[in-house]
Chain A
Amino acid sequence: MAAAVRAGVSGRILGRGSAVGARSMSSWWRSVEPAPKDPILGVTEAFLADPSPDKVNVGVGAYRDDNGKPVVLECVREAERRVAGNQNMEYLPMGGSVKMVEETLKLAYGEDSEFIKDKRIAAVQALSGTGACRLFADFQKRFSPDSQIYIPVPTWANHHNIWRDAHVPQRTYHYYHPESKGLDFAALMDDVKNAPNGSFFLLHACAHNPTGVDPSEDQWREISYQIKVKGHFPFFDMAYQGFASGDPERDAKAIRIFLEDGHAIGIAQSYAKNMGLYGQRVGCLSVLCEDEKQAIAVKSQLQQLARPMYSNPPVHGALVVSTILGDPELKSLWLKEVKVMADRIIGMRTALRENLEKFGSPLSWKHITEQIGMFCYSGMTPEQVDQLTKEYHIYLTRNGRISMAGVTTGNVGYLANAINEVTKSS
């Protein structure tokens, strides 16, 4: 525990107008240690600092085109042209852009969702996926103070931080099966069954981060059934809708199954990846309630949590989203562009696997094409990852997660060769 040591100059009265030299004063912050580098964002920092011409960044999950360049979608550029000169920068309401939230709910719950028609969804604009998860964690703490959250192993590292900072006790459930590099379904189901009734379960709606391993439709149905039996609360983190299969409707399948089965769910949605709006921090938190009255109450409480964090959310990204989704032509363009991104990823998965097999790797790499979404859980050890970085200037997180978005036709051969070299003796 970091207890501050009071500065040694306590009691020293400094005369009026005198400037005390900085060095002579002990700092309040002596006990503040340097924070460890963020495991994910720290990778990009290291990559940027590397002077090697061969360097490859398959670290952070930000989409790149086949030239390794960031992409701004055409639909986004057009939307920005339309909103430029927008005469109003007034504060959004605490719940954010109403229009943006409406369109966002349609994506998750379905265009014709009865829950939307019946106004049963409490929803607020949030600071992308992180902000949505954080708001929900605080909400869970405040209104279900005795509950705990079950988080899959592995998961996006920040999930643990978020719920910990919200003071919600956390447990884990089995998810990834290292031997098969697939889903540990039996253990997952056991954990669902053994959790105390009424626990909260964090589920990745599609394109699980970091493994890329998703349950099949049948498996989702079984998970849904068991969660219902136990009265658990399903909370979906959906950061990759559209990005997994290329079809947003298909990527929302797990959520739709749970809705059909009558669960009251919560969803964190993000436009960081599927609209390329990373830095704009646009997302949405929704909670399905019993009726309209309850939805109004819950929404008011979510706003109450947001107010002491940032008062109201940023407008720019929300305007871009609502402009795109509110215009049939722009929306259609967006759907095309999302498919292009997803297809490129799928193509790179195939290419990476084929290259590895071509190099004669003794290991099985079929998981590369079986996994889905931006990430591939390669199965490499931290030591092998370190070797990849040191010897080949390839940057990825030490859990062996490869961001397929960083793979291009230009670097896939180099990457496959390097991976083969560090793994062939294992």
Chain B
Amino acid sequence: MTVAVNVSRFEGITMAPPDPILGVSEAFKADTDEKKLNLGVGAYRTEELQPYVLKVVEKAENLMLERGENKEYLPIEGLAAFNKATAELLFGADNPVIKQQRVATVQSLSGTGSLRLAAALIERYFPGAKVLISSPTWGNHKNIFDDARVPWSEYRYYDPKTVGLDFEGMIADIKDAPEGSFILLHGCAHNPTGIDPNPEQWEKIANVIQKKNHIPFFDVAYQGFASGSLDADAGSVRLFAARGMELLVAQSYSKNLGLYAERIGAINVVCSTADAATRVKSQLKQLARLMYSNPPVHGAKIVANIVSDPALFNDWKAEMEMMAGRIKNVRQKLNDSLSAKDKSGKDWSFILKQIGMFSFTGLSKTQSENMTNKWHVYMTKDGRISLAGLNLAKCEYLADAIVDSYHNVS
């Protein structure tokens, strides 16, 4: 016999809004038009617009299968071999911060999880301290700091007039922030704009951060994916570390190893002493325990296997160059198509200057909506397109859509 359920205490719960980024893919799936193009979420696609599992990953998984390892809990801080490999990848194995054991590294749930752990650490040990995030930034940054109860404000970053970096605005806003703020920086391939500071600008940013006694907090989600070189893409982080600064770095292997769904990344905290690093690591573990006890093992083993085997590591570097190379080709073709089709003389070359998976087109919200409604091109409403979802064959169609939306929609 089933008795009717009491009036639910969840009566007043309303539908949450669709996620602005992940919701795009869902809408794309529902569209039946054959011309549709998914330039929403930043997941790499091949030239045939298919998802891509890296060959090195397949090799690593087969090795793991053959070995038949057990599935015991990882320690709270994650797989030791992975933690070692990931810090070395980021800083370079010979970096003093590594040799002096000054980096606290904890495996986390990809970039999101790493950011969340760092946010929890900030909330606990720097109550009231603010995080400054770029305007614009990845949509989930705000949610993470909100849910972790860390106050945030924005620093100027994107200049719509030049479709480039508002460097003066950025420096001014960092200078104005209360001393001891955390400055969230994208290590390379800024999301969503694709606009990165050049090395000289990075030096100036480091100067003002040091002067104001702020703490740099890097989000590195595209190491290797931006330029094709792992070392080059870690340049900004290494520049700051070389100055002896303490800093935080959130890492992700979602894109550069295509391990999106395995949720593999790490939070790194570079401290001025090994003792501080030990203490910080112990507190990060405490925070992780409250969220999920210990991190998932599968992705960590894949990464550790690849990075520790010279042959696999080389294979990985080659595949990454290939992926970054495809993106660069697509940028070139898109730039050429836009120049050819847009008779107004507008300069579209910012597409070539930007780097990484994303391009900030400069399209407004209504223009972006036109892209979707009229042209079945799926993108986020901030004007961001994921070039990873574009191939050479579709560049002309996309150029038509962009030119139409930019000039004919206000």
A343–B231 alpha-carbon span in the complex (Å): 54
Whether a CB of chain A sits under 8 angstroms from the CB of B309 is: no
Q: For window 104-128 of chain B, which residues contact chain A by CB distance below 8 Å?
A: 109-110, 112-113, 116, 124-127
A–B complex contacts, Cβ < 8 Å, 30 sampled: A9-B213, A14-B244, A20-B244, A20-B245, A21-B244, A28-B271, A35-B279, A38-B76, A38-B286, A41-B75, A77-B68, A90-B260, A94-B22, A134-B291, A259-B2, A262-B6, A280-B297, A280-B298, A288-B5, A290-B7, A297-B10, A308-B116, A308-B144, A310-B110, A310-B112, A310-B116, A310-B292, A314-B109, A314-B261, A316-B298
Interface-central residue, B242, B273, B292, by most chain A CB under 10 Å: B292
Instruction: Assess A301 versus B271: contact at CB under 8 Å? Given A41-B76, A90-B260.
Output: no
A317 and B116 within 8 A (CB): no
Instruction: Assess A312 versus B261: contact at CB under 8 Å? Given A29-B246, A70-B72, A91-B22.
Output: yes
Q: For window 66-119 of chain B, which residues contact chain A by CB distance below 8 Å?
A: 68, 70-76, 96, 100, 102, 109-110, 112-113, 116
Contact of B5 (CB < 8 Å), options: A1, A92, A263: A263
Whether a CB of chain B sits under 8 angstroms from the CB of A195 is: no
Which residues from chain B contact A279 at a C-beta distance below 8 Å?
A: 71-74, 294, 296-298
CB B388 to nearest CB in A, in angstroms, measures 12
The interface bits of chain B over 268-305 (1 if a CB of A lies within 8 angstroms of the residue's CB, else 0) are 01011100101110110110011111111111000000
B71 and A315 within 8 A (CB): no
Contact of B143 (CB < 8 Å), options: A62, A308, A315: A308
Instruction: Assess A144 versus B9: contact at CB under 8 Å? Given A72-B71, A134-B292, A309-B112.
Output: yes
Instruction: Assess A29 versus B9: contact at CB under 8 Å? Given A158-B290, A261-B3.
Output: no
B273 and A6 within 8 A (CB): no
Instruction: Assess A27 versus B276: contact at CB under 8 Å? Given A22-B244, A62-B73.
Output: yes
Instruction: Assess A91 versus B43: contact at CB under 8 Å? Given A70-B72, A276-B71, A279-B72.
Output: yes
Q: For window 345-384 of chain A, which residues contact chain B by CB distance below 8 Å?
A: none
Binds B, one of A78-86, A399-407, A416-424: A78-86
Which residues from chain A contact B130 at a C-beta distance below 8 Å?
A: none
B299 and A305 within 8 A (CB): no
Which residues from chain B contact A35 at a C-beta distance below 8 Å?
A: 279, 282-283, 285-286
A309 and B113 within 8 A (CB): yes
Q: For window 81-126 of chain A, which residues contact chain B by CB distance below 8 Å?
A: 81, 84-94, 114
Contact of A32 (CB < 8 Å), options: B7, B109, B279: B279
B144 and A19 within 8 A (CB): no
Chain A positions within 8 Å of B, measured between CB atoms, are 1-4, 6-7, 9-14, 16-35, 38, 41, 45, 60, 62, 70-72, 76-77, 80-81, 84-94, 114, 127-128, 130-131, 134, 138, 143-144, 158, 161-162, 165, 198, 231, 233, 259-264, 272, 276-281, 287-290, 294, 296-298, 300-301, 303-305, 307-317
A301–B296 alpha-carbon span in the complex (Å): 24
Instruction: Assess A30 versus B10: contact at CB under 8 Å? Given A4-B180, A158-B293, A316-B296.
Output: no
Whether a CB of chain A sits under 8 angstroms from the CB of B146 is: yes
Residue of A nearest to B122 (CB): A4
Whether a CB of chain A sits under 8 angstroms from the CB of B210 is: yes
A13–B7 alpha-carbon span in the complex (Å): 63
CB B236 to nearest CB in A, in angstroms, measures 15
B102 and A91 within 8 A (CB): no
A29 and B261 within 8 A (CB): no
Whether a CB of chain A sits under 8 angstroms from the CB of B201 is: no
Contact of A311 (CB < 8 Å), options: B110, B180, B262: B110
B51 and A89 within 8 A (CB): yes
CB B175 to nearest CB in A, in angstroms, measures 13
Instruction: Assess A301 versus B16: contact at CB under 8 Å? Given A29-B279, A80-B65, A307-B143.
Output: yes
B8 and A19 within 8 A (CB): no
B112 and A311 within 8 A (CB): yes
Which residues from chain A contact B353 at a C-beta distance below 8 Å?
A: none
New A-B contacts (14) at CB < 8 Å, excluding given A4-B180, A127-B291, A131-B291: A6-B179, A6-B180, A14-B207, A29-B269, A30-B276, A32-B276, A32-B283, A84-B62, A260-B1, A264-B8, A289-B8, A296-B15, A304-B16, A311-B140
Number of B positions contacting A (CB below 8 A): 98
B72 and A6 within 8 A (CB): no
CB A420 to nearest CB in B, in angstroms, measures 31
Instruction: Assess A300 versus B144: contact at CB under 8 Å? Given A3-B127, A90-B261, A91-B43.
Output: no
Instruction: Assess A278 versus B65: contact at CB under 8 Å? Given A22-B96, A32-B125, A301-B13.
Output: no
Q: For window 289-330 of chain B, which residues contact chain A by CB distance below 8 Å?
A: 289-299
CB B83 to nearest CB in A, in angstroms, measures 15
Whether a CB of chain A sits under 8 angstroms from the CB of B4 is: yes
A161 and B5 within 8 A (CB): no
CB A302 to nearest CB in B, in angstroms, measures 9
Interface-central residue, A3, A93, A280, A308, by most chain B CB under 10 Å: A308
Whether a CB of chain A sits under 8 angstroms from the CB of B173 is: no
Instruction: Assess A165 versus B290: contact at CB under 8 Å? Given A16-B207, A90-B51.
Output: yes
A89 and B258 within 8 A (CB): yes
Whether a CB of chain A sits under 8 angstroms from the CB of B35 is: no
Which residues from chain B contact A20 at a C-beta distance below 8 Å?
A: 243-245
Whether a CB of chain A sits under 8 angstroms from the CB of B211 is: yes
CB B378 to nearest CB in A, in angstroms, measures 15
Instruction: Assess A2 versus B124: contact at CB under 8 Å? Given A88-B53, A165-B290.
Output: yes
A13–B213 alpha-carbon span in the complex (Å): 9
B213 and A6 within 8 A (CB): yes
CB B71 to nearest CB in A, in angstroms, measures 5
A22 and B273 within 8 A (CB): yes
Contact of B53 (CB < 8 Å), options: A26, A87, A233, A305: A87
Which residues from chain B contact A314 at a C-beta distance below 8 Å?
A: 109, 261-263, 296, 298-299
A308 and B258 within 8 A (CB): no
Residue of A nearest to B100 (CB): A22
The interface bits of chain B over 140-171 (1 if a CB of A lies within 8 angstroms of the residue's CB, else 0) are 10011011100000000000000000000000
B112 and A315 within 8 A (CB): no
A141–B246 alpha-carbon span in the complex (Å): 35
A72 and B70 within 8 A (CB): yes
Interface-central residue, B11, B43, B126, B263, by most chain A CB under 10 Å: B263
B259 and A128 within 8 A (CB): no
CB B370 to nearest CB in A, in angstroms, measures 27
Instruction: Assess A300 versus B15: contact at CB under 8 Å? Given A14-B243, A20-B243.
Output: yes
Interface-central residue, A72, A138, A314, by most chain B CB under 10 Å: A314
B291 and A130 within 8 A (CB): yes
Interface-central residue, A85, A91, A263, A309, by most chain B CB under 10 Å: A309
Which residues from chain A contact B286 at a C-beta distance below 8 Å?
A: 35, 38
Which residues from chain B contact A165 at a C-beta distance below 8 Å?
A: 290
CB A308 to nearest CB in B, in angstroms, measures 4
Whether a CB of chain A sits under 8 angstroms from the CB of B19 is: yes
Whether a CB of chain A sits under 8 angstroms from the CB of B61 is: yes
A27 and B246 within 8 A (CB): yes
CB B389 to nearest CB in A, in angstroms, measures 12
A19 and B243 within 8 A (CB): yes
Whether a CB of chain A sits under 8 angstroms from the CB of B347 is: no
Which residues from chain B contact A312 at a C-beta distance below 8 Å?
A: 22, 261, 263
Q: For window 225-250 of chain B, which residues contact chain A by CB distance below 8 Å?
A: 242-246
Residue of A nearest to B258 (CB): A89
A400–B72 alpha-carbon span in the complex (Å): 23
